[in-house]
Amino acid sequence: MQVRRVPGTALANQTNSDIIYTPPVGLALLRQKLANWEFYLHEQQDLDSLIRMAVGHYQFETIHPFTNGNGRTGRVLNSLYLTQENLLTLPILYLSRYIINNKADYYRFLLGVTRYRDWEYWLYYLIQGVAETALWTTAKIAAIRALHNMTIDHVKKPRLKFIAESWWI
Ligand SMILES: Nc1ncnc2c1ncn2[C@@H]1O[C@H](COP(=O)(O)OP(=O)(O)OP(=O)(O)O)[C@@H](O)[C@H]1O
Ligand SMILES: [Mg+2]
């Protein structure tokens, strides 16, 4: 998908269609803001990676470079960024689960930064999401492993009795 070239993209309230945020317009301006975003993510090394991910996600969504798909792209970028920063070995932290489950807060805190420079709520929201998702994912991995082992045990059990019983079928 190409970066937006024409005006007309705006974020509206889903219930009454009121425009709540209009992202920047014009290819040159979008390219300049994307360059700034990229520079921030790579160069602002004095800040913790989680803070950079949260700020970078806000920046990306607010620049809103595409006509559609900005949310999905931004969420994929979060996992890829944590992998690049060596906080994950694989992009398996499904942070989107938390964002989708807490969507009203997500929208509210994004807008809070734009309207009131309310960074604290936004940062806390996303970092809390990382913590919750990390615990959830760890439990999920443990459950998958347990199921895997149970299945192996089950398959290894002698099945002579079963064969004998089904002989007449
Ligand atoms: N006030 C806001 N300021 C900046 N970005 C916002 C604001 N409200 C919502 N967004 C972002 O815009 C995204 C929706 O934009 P878009 O429709 O382009 O993405 P999508 O991937 O198609 O949708 P979705 O995120 O619902 O899957 C939201 O997911 C959110 O990241
Ligand atoms: Mg959309």
Q: Give me the number of domains the chain comprises.
A: 1
Q: Is the CB of 113 under 6 A from ligand 1?
A: no
Residue 136 lies in a domain: yes
Q: Distance from first CA to last CA of the chain, Å, rounded? A: 59
Nearest ligand, measured from the Cα of 112: 1
Domain for residue 4, yes or no? no
Model confidence pLDDT, tens digit, residues 17-69: 999 999 999 999 999 999 999 999 999 889 999 999 999 999 999 999 999 99
DSSP assignment of 109-120:
HHHHHHHH--HH
What is the value of pTM for the model shown?
Answer: 0.90
- Range of the structural domain that residue 101 is part of: 11-166
Q: Is the CB of 67 under 6 A from ligand 1?
A: no
User: Per residue in 104-157, pLDDT tens?
Assistant: 999 999 999 999 999 999 999 999 999 999 999 999 999 999 999 999 999 988
6 within domain boundaries: no
CATH number at residue 50: 1.10.3290.10
Residue 143 lies in a domain: yes
Q: Is residue 2 assigned to a domain? A: no
